[in-house]
Chain A
């Protein structure tokens, strides 16, 4: 029997930082102080959340009870922790959205995707036509938790259908 309480695991923490100098350092300090081993930092500077914050994903390896302490100390330090857990957002999902994206409030669409589909938006490219009649297209890159990509896609489909948007999905399964 393995002792899960003492097993070192990799945990992903999603933070949202205010776009000011020193913010990233301030967020990382509590992690090292609490004994977490920083594995990777994904700092999405070009990708501002609807609230004007910068999303940051941090992978930390440590034992579970230490992880809780890290999250607590981050929150105590006033850092905005969006999500913390052992699950890693390690599956990538790229879809195209086609339709009246701007008129149907693209940022609301994406926010819904992030909150309902439990996915994290990592990249967005929008191509909108000059006129209003034509459809616009967006390429949306999402990170989802292992094994939940199908679920995320299903939610995405529902959100898109509600706004009469067309989702061009990737082929699932490993395409060579």
Chain B
């Protein structure tokens, strides 16, 4: 879809980048909302002014946040923070768009990981479509690669989908530092959040692999976070990384999505293998039925990176 009118919900790093880059992709932003306010203009908002206002005063406009849902748009971009269980309010935002026969593009993992079946059901009753490339691996085209191959031709997906945990593990290995020390460094650099639980306990990675499982199952089976076996990196001492290194290996937080389910755990991988990406990079390996293994790596997080995935999804929508 080209020349789409976008309503962007969420004005965090991803939402703001979508607003900033939309024009470059030939789209118009007709509404943007953060948690407390909205800016709406059917002819297109003044994106620079709205972003300045957000930076200066913390709000995007004078309208009620909810008003953005009823604005004129072709595609709703759901970029509010990920929530678990009922995945609200993100789920209702998407439901609202589909109810209006509009498309929805998600950067929010919650609805796709926790309520995939509900989403697909609503989509089936709507003229709108949902896409969610941005929920898995930021800028890396994973869902679209699976779609290109056909889910039936991919037998498993595995890899590193959390940049924070990967940064911590690769720094621990390279510098011989312990977990607490590197975590503090990551927080100073803005790589880890003040509350890093989601990242270091493996929950964020698990949500992404749950989403991949749902895509790979193609409706035969539905997965949620509860179906995943999740183990984080908080208990790994520096000595474990040293022992791994002596043997030409290292430790990475690896997720796996197979027909049997989803696991996320620290695993031993060859030091020089494709899965031992360093820093905040992400990588996904897809096992194909006839074409061996595909490795796709790149930046798995960040505003412009994730916005790129959102805007590519908008382009993929059919009118």
The smallest C-beta distance from A47 to any residue of chain B, in angstroms, reads 16
Please, which residues of chain B bring their CB within 8 A of the CB of A95?
A: 268
Question: Contact between A98 and B269 (Cβ–Cβ < 8 Å)?
Answer: no
Interface centre among A127, A166, A168, A175 (most CB of B within 10 A): A168
Question: Contact between A175 and B246 (Cβ–Cβ < 8 Å)?
Answer: no
Question: Contact between A96 and B268 (Cβ–Cβ < 8 Å)?
Answer: yes
CB neighbors of B among A111-156 (8 A): 125, 127-129, 134-139, 141
Question: Contact between A96 and B251 (Cβ–Cβ < 8 Å)?
Answer: yes
How far is B247's CA from A125's CA once the two chains are assembled, in angstroms? 10
Is A85 among interface residues, defined by CB-CB distance under 8 A? no
Question: Contact between A137 and B240 (Cβ–Cβ < 8 Å)?
Answer: yes
How far is B248's CA from A170's CA once the two chains are assembled, in angstroms? 12
Please, which residues of chain B bring their CB within 8 A of the CB of A137?
A: 237, 239-240, 242-243
Question: Contact between B158 and A96 (Cβ–Cβ < 8 Å)?
Answer: no
Q: Which of A98, A170, A176 contacts B240 (CB 8 A)?
A: A98
Please judge, given known A-B contacts A96-B243, A127-B243, whether A170 and B237 are in contact too, CB under 8 Å.
no
Please, which residues of chain B bring their CB within 8 A of the CB of A175?
A: 269-270, 273, 275
The smallest C-beta distance from A103 to any residue of chain B, in angstroms, reads 15
- By beta carbon, the residue of chain B nearest A176 is B273
Please, which residues of chain B bring their CB within 8 A of the CB of A94?
A: 247, 249, 268
How far is B62's CA from A42's CA once the two chains are assembled, in angstroms? 78
How would residues 258 to 300 of chain B score, 1 for a CB under 8 Å from any chain A CB and 0 otherwise?
A: 0000000111111001110000000000000000010000000
How would residues 220 to 246 of chain B score, 1 for a CB under 8 Å from any chain A CB and 0 otherwise?
A: 000000000000000111011011101
The smallest C-beta distance from B241 to any residue of chain A, in angstroms, reads 8
Please, which residues of chain B bring their CB within 8 A of the CB of A139?
A: 243-244, 246-247
Please, which residues of chain A bring their CB within 8 A of the CB of B79?
A: none
The smallest C-beta distance from A56 to any residue of chain B, in angstroms, reads 23
Q: How many residues of A contact B (CB 8 A)?
A: 22
Please judge, given known A-B contacts A138-B243, A168-B251, whether A98 and B268 are in contact too, CB under 8 Å.
no
Is A169 among interface residues, defined by CB-CB distance under 8 A? yes
Please, which residues of chain A bring their CB within 8 A of the CB of B268?
A: 94-96, 168-171
Please, which residues of chain A bring their CB within 8 A of the CB of B270?
A: 175
The smallest C-beta distance from B200 to any residue of chain A, in angstroms, reads 15
How far is B242's CA from A129's CA once the two chains are assembled, in angstroms? 13
How far is B235's CA from A135's CA once the two chains are assembled, in angstroms? 8
Please judge, given known A-B contacts A139-B243, A168-B268, A169-B268, whether A98 and B235 are in contact too, CB under 8 Å.
yes
Please judge, given known A-B contacts A94-B247, A176-B274, whether A168 and B269 are in contact too, CB under 8 Å.
no
The smallest C-beta distance from B166 to any residue of chain A, in angstroms, reads 15
How far is B32's CA from A101's CA once the two chains are assembled, in angstroms? 55
Please, which residues of chain A bring their CB within 8 A of the CB of B239?
A: 127-129, 135-137
Please, which residues of chain B bring their CB within 8 A of the CB of A138?
A: 243
How far is B267's CA from A170's CA once the two chains are assembled, in angstroms? 5
The smallest C-beta distance from B235 to any residue of chain A, in angstroms, reads 6
Question: Contact between B249 and A171 (Cβ–Cβ < 8 Å)?
Answer: no
How far is B293's CA from A134's CA once the two chains are assembled, in angstroms? 39
How far is B235's CA from A134's CA once the two chains are assembled, in angstroms? 10
How far is B266's CA from A127's CA once the two chains are assembled, in angstroms? 18
The smallest C-beta distance from A37 to any residue of chain B, in angstroms, reads 33
Q: Which of A135, A141, A176 contacts B237 (CB 8 A)?
A: A135
The smallest C-beta distance from A87 to any residue of chain B, in angstroms, reads 25
Question: Contact between A127 and B269 (Cβ–Cβ < 8 Å)?
Answer: no
- By beta carbon, the residue of chain B nearest A128 is B239
Please judge, given known A-B contacts A139-B247, A176-B274, whether A171 and B237 are in contact too, CB under 8 Å.
no
How far is B249's CA from A49's CA once the two chains are assembled, in angstroms? 26
Please judge, given known A-B contacts A98-B240, A137-B240, whether A169 and B265 are in contact too, CB under 8 Å.
yes
How far is B254's CA from A168's CA once the two chains are assembled, in angstroms? 11
Given contact pairs A168-B268, A171-B254, A176-B273, a sample of 19 additional A-B residue pairs in the complex whose CB atoms are under 8 Å apart: A94-B247, A94-B249, A94-B268, A96-B251, A98-B235, A127-B242, A127-B243, A128-B239, A129-B237, A129-B239, A134-B237, A139-B244, A168-B251, A168-B267, A169-B268, A170-B249, A171-B158, A171-B267, A175-B275
B residues within 8 Å of A by Cβ?
Answer: 158, 235-237, 239-240, 242-244, 246-247, 249, 251, 254, 265-270, 273-275, 293
A residues within 8 Å of B by Cβ?
Answer: 94-96, 98, 125, 127-129, 134-139, 141, 166, 168-171, 175-176
Q: What would 17 A/B residue contacts be, using CB atoms closer than 8 Å?
A: A94-B249, A95-B268, A125-B243, A125-B246, A127-B239, A127-B240, A127-B242, A135-B239, A137-B239, A137-B240, A137-B243, A139-B243, A139-B246, A168-B265, A175-B273, A176-B273, A176-B274
